[in-house]
Structure 1
């Protein structure tokens, strides 16, 4: 997942339009659109604003895969959880924080 995809994911999880987010970050709609589409690389200032707004670290935008903790041995009802279930858990936490 690239920077634009991560940015879009955060925006859509909050159910915001590009315009709403642009207004919140005090940037142009075009800039948000171009970042999400991967047409431009966001500035450090842009990333700082986005990280503060979404309550994530700047490094979040550059991570290959989000790892909250090692849950490889986690079981539910004696059955090891799958990668799909791990991802569902991450999404649930994000929604509750949203």
Structure 2
């Protein structure tokens, strides 16, 4: 797999458009296309930005030798009042969180 193919695969995994990626990196959309199609190679500062954005190492982007990190499960404790819980990008209201806690406790009140 080439650098461009890895970049294209990572962007697809992240479900982000070329337009959105270009805006995040501060470069043109055609430049992203050229990277992904192997017509142009990014400079080291762009490679670093891409690696940070995708959560991979520079070595993985350049050589493909490192394994792409697997998605890790995130956990949070419902008892943690500092955590903002969301569902589909929207904050879960406090009364719904209390309802969820009661369900998890078997309907018992604290």
- Supply the distance in 2 between the matched residues of 1:22 and 1:43 (Cα, whole angstroms): 15
Please show how residues 86-97 of structure 1 align to structure 2 within 5 Å: 93-94=70-71
Pair 1:2–1:31, CA change in 2 (3 A): same
**Higher-RCO chain (CA-CA 8 Å, sequence separation at least 6):** 1
Unaligned 5+ segments in structure 2 are 75-110
Give the SS at the match of 1:39.
Answer: coil
Gaps of 5+ in 1: 69-89
TM-score by length of 1: 0.65
Match of 1:11 in 2: 11
How far is 1:46 from its partner? 1.0
Q: What's the TM-score once normalised by structure 2's chain length?
A: 0.58
CA distances 1:53-72 after superposition (whole Å, capped 9, x unpaired):
1121110112345447xxxx
CA contact (8 A) 2:22 2:29 kept: yes
CA distance in 2, matches of 1:53, 1:67: 16
The count of aligned residue pairs is 74
